[in-house]
Chains A and B, each alone.
Chain A
């Protein structure tokens, strides 16, 4: 259905509820108050009569007193009810009218309500500035993990859309200009529970201003920014912005990794993926040969740098080389959408093509023309707008790069499972065979859907049972933890990917490595394995069974019985 219908229905909810409530009270009063007939005999008023009277009371006042003339007690009640029901009707109709009118007043109410809601937040939350494609994806994945968020955006339509999105958690949102520090303050920048600010607007300067405001007004919090240009990036970094994501650079680096070690690229894609998505197939970009690069803008330059580092030959096609700069081996002048330009760039004997201009139509046209000239090309396409998804799926590109999704994924992983970043950094030093082996272990574990990836901090909150044993000096190994608490001969479908404590980071810890309190673990596997493991970590009896095989009785009575039996009574 149309969004407008939903908005009207939503807005009419309160008036309708008030209307129902008032009518109910008025009717109930009519039924309760004793009535009498013309002869003075008491007559009960039925709900039917009460409903009949209240229905015409508010709309046609002065119709008469039915079915009998009222007593004075009834008249007192009716005089109050008349005003109440008329007022409620006016309110209901008035609400509909204001919906169609100017909303300046409502804006003021909205702002104060938003401030109040943000003030009342009692859980840690993230402040997301910009609810565009990236912001939407990020807020959704945060709330799916039961983390709280507050969103502001300059476009009222997007804020309305957020209210209609069915999110797992309530997300306070306001249409405001994030460049004004006051709006950031309203959105909870100085709130003691604000854990971080994520600046995701599509304007670099706005993101920069948000970062500055965040660092000045609340220096301790994490600031995560999107930046599309290196100057802005350097500027942000200079005053301590915690994480800066450049979609083009990130993607180009991913491509470089995919060329260098396809398994590692696949592994990182799986571990960072959404759980209900099916596993992606591996891609094998050609590791040697010549690539043709169309468009030498921000994306083109990032790809150029990373592909060059891989030792690939490159030919660049650019329509406006005097504006974008010229790489040292020169440039083919043109857009790449015509066969002539592509042939001039030697598309016939190239192995790869990057369609990286900022126009989706051009990119699609480049790919179609190039594939007509050389069917064997490995094609990387840049998609700028979400609504073109269908076209890019059809065009025959092996990799489609969409800036907003890349950033949302990165930030989601950074906030949800920060250890994954450490894992990838360590894995980059390993050989690709190592990653291939891990990939095959993961596949064996989860079949066709992306694995569940989660972190455990061994502390009193997340693993009280293990901490209790640790205090008693009993050590627990990785292998013991992964046993199934229902049957300790079986092993849970999970892999411990990383163990980390204050001193060291250990990739794929060996089965006999001890897990102590203070450790942090990164695991992947099936979602049910994560729940089972939580059980082991929290319940001392379960942990005891996993370690020793004794099923100790848990209840008071049973423990008492067990002690009696042990004493040999």
Chain B
């Protein structure tokens, strides 16, 4: 057992589950999507991304890439949230919420890909 793989597996699965938690609910209802959840998702994803730094293998590079994609979308979502609430007159509208949630949905797919890659790597371990 490789402790590094355990820690990374933990964080990537945690990122996926938290992301799902933020994502579920009516897409344009701000009541269903909590800002704390988005904060924790961004945090856990950041940790998962940094954990893949310096992994030279093909699989490691792919996992870093998917984590970066998820990061990109989540930071986009956080930015939209911030701009909508603090820099526009209208504030949080259902349309803005919908785009935030759909961005986090995209990030979730990237996280699903990460987890699938992880599972494939586990299955290809030679006995």
Task: Give the B-binding residues of A (Cβ under 8 A).
Answer: 1, 6-13, 16-17, 20-21, 24, 27-28, 46-48, 144-146, 164, 166, 168-170, 275, 527, 530-531
Are B43 and A16 in touch, CB under 8 angstroms?
Answer: no
Query: Smallest distance from the beta carbon of A1 to chain B beta carbons, Å?
Result: 8
Query: Smallest distance from the beta carbon of A73 to chain B beta carbons, Å?
Result: 19
Are A9 and B60 in touch, CB under 8 angstroms?
Answer: no
CA of A24 to CA of B50, assembled, Å: 15
A-B contact count (CB 8 A): 65
CA of A172 to CA of B55, assembled, Å: 17
Are B53 and A12 in touch, CB under 8 angstroms?
Answer: yes
Contacts A6-B54, A10-B53, A17-B47 given; does A168 touch B125 at CB 8 Å = yes
The 5 closest A-B pairs by CB, nearest first: A9-B54, A10-B54, A166-B57, A9-B53, A48-B82
Partner of B51, one of A13, A47, A530: A13
Contacts A6-B56, A166-B57 given; does A17 touch B2 at CB 8 Å = no
Are A48 and B43 in touch, CB under 8 angstroms?
Answer: no
Contacts A169-B2, A170-B4 given; does A47 touch B39 at CB 8 Å = yes
Query: Smallest distance from the beta carbon of A30 to chain B beta carbons, Å?
Result: 12
With CB as the reference atom, state the residue of chain B lying closest to A28: B39
Contacts A48-B82, A166-B60, A169-B2 given; does A13 touch B125 at CB 8 Å = no
Are B56 and A48 in touch, CB under 8 angstroms?
Answer: no
Query: Smallest distance from the beta carbon of A250 to chain B beta carbons, Å?
Result: 26
Are A16 and B53 in touch, CB under 8 angstroms?
Answer: yes
* B24 CB within 8 Å of chain A: no
B residues within 8 A CB of A530? 127
CA of A6 to CA of B60, assembled, Å: 12
A residues within 8 A CB of B46? 20
Contacts A144-B126, A170-B2, A170-B4 given; does A16 touch B56 at CB 8 Å = no
Residues in B65-104 with C-beta less than 8 Å from chain A: 78, 81-82, 85-86
CA of A157 to CA of B4, assembled, Å: 22
Are A166 and B55 in touch, CB under 8 angstroms?
Answer: yes
Task: Give the A-binding residues of B (Cβ under 8 A).
Answer: 1-4, 35, 39, 43, 46-47, 50-51, 53-57, 59-60, 78, 81-82, 85-86, 125-127
Are B85 and A48 in touch, CB under 8 angstroms?
Answer: yes
Known pairs A11-B54, A145-B126. 18 more at Cβ < 8 A?
A: A9-B53, A13-B51, A13-B54, A16-B53, A17-B47, A17-B50, A24-B39, A27-B39, A46-B35, A46-B85, A48-B82, A48-B85, A144-B126, A146-B127, A164-B56, A166-B56, A169-B2, A275-B126
Query: Smallest distance from the beta carbon of A159 to chain B beta carbons, Å?
Result: 16
Are A46 and B86 in touch, CB under 8 angstroms?
Answer: yes
A–B Cβ pairs within 8 angstroms, 22 of them = A1-B56, A10-B54, A11-B54, A17-B47, A17-B50, A20-B43, A20-B50, A21-B47, A24-B39, A24-B43, A27-B39, A46-B35, A46-B82, A47-B35, A48-B81, A48-B82, A166-B55, A166-B56, A170-B3, A170-B4, A527-B127, A530-B127
A residues within 8 A CB of B51? 13, 17
A residues within 8 A CB of B59? 166
Query: Smallest distance from the beta carbon of A5 to chain B beta carbons, Å?
Result: 8
A residues within 8 A CB of B47? 17, 20-21
Query: Smallest distance from the beta carbon of B6 to chain A beta carbons, Å?
Result: 10
A residues within 8 A CB of B35? 46-47
B residues within 8 A CB of A11? 54
A residues within 8 A CB of B82? 46-48
With CB as the reference atom, state the residue of chain A lying closest to B83: A48
Query: Smallest distance from the beta carbon of B105 to chain A beta carbons, Å?
Result: 20
Query: Smallest distance from the beta carbon of A157 to chain B beta carbons, Å?
Result: 16
B residues within 8 A CB of A48? 81-82, 85-86
B residues within 8 A CB of A20? 43, 46-47, 50
CA of A8 to CA of B59, assembled, Å: 20
B residues within 8 A CB of A8? 54
CA of A527 to CA of B51, assembled, Å: 34
A residues within 8 A CB of B56? 1, 6, 164, 166
Query: Smallest distance from the beta carbon of A533 to chain B beta carbons, Å?
Result: 13
Query: Smallest distance from the beta carbon of B124 to chain A beta carbons, Å?
Result: 10
Query: Smallest distance from the beta carbon of A274 to chain B beta carbons, Å?
Result: 10
CA of A48 to CA of B50, assembled, Å: 23
With CB as the reference atom, state the residue of chain A lying closest to B4: A170
Query: Smallest distance from the beta carbon of B82 to chain A beta carbons, Å?
Result: 4
B residues within 8 A CB of A13? 50-51, 53-54
Are B54 and A7 in touch, CB under 8 angstroms?
Answer: yes
With CB as the reference atom, state the residue of chain B lying closest to A12: B53
A residues within 8 A CB of B125? 146, 168
A residues within 8 A CB of B86? 46, 48
A residues within 8 A CB of B4? 170
A residues within 8 A CB of B2? 168-170
B residues within 8 A CB of A10? 53-54
CA of A90 to CA of B56, assembled, Å: 28
With CB as the reference atom, state the residue of chain B lying closest to A32: B36
CA of A164 to CA of B57, assembled, Å: 9
Query: Smallest distance from the beta carbon of A163 to chain B beta carbons, Å?
Result: 10
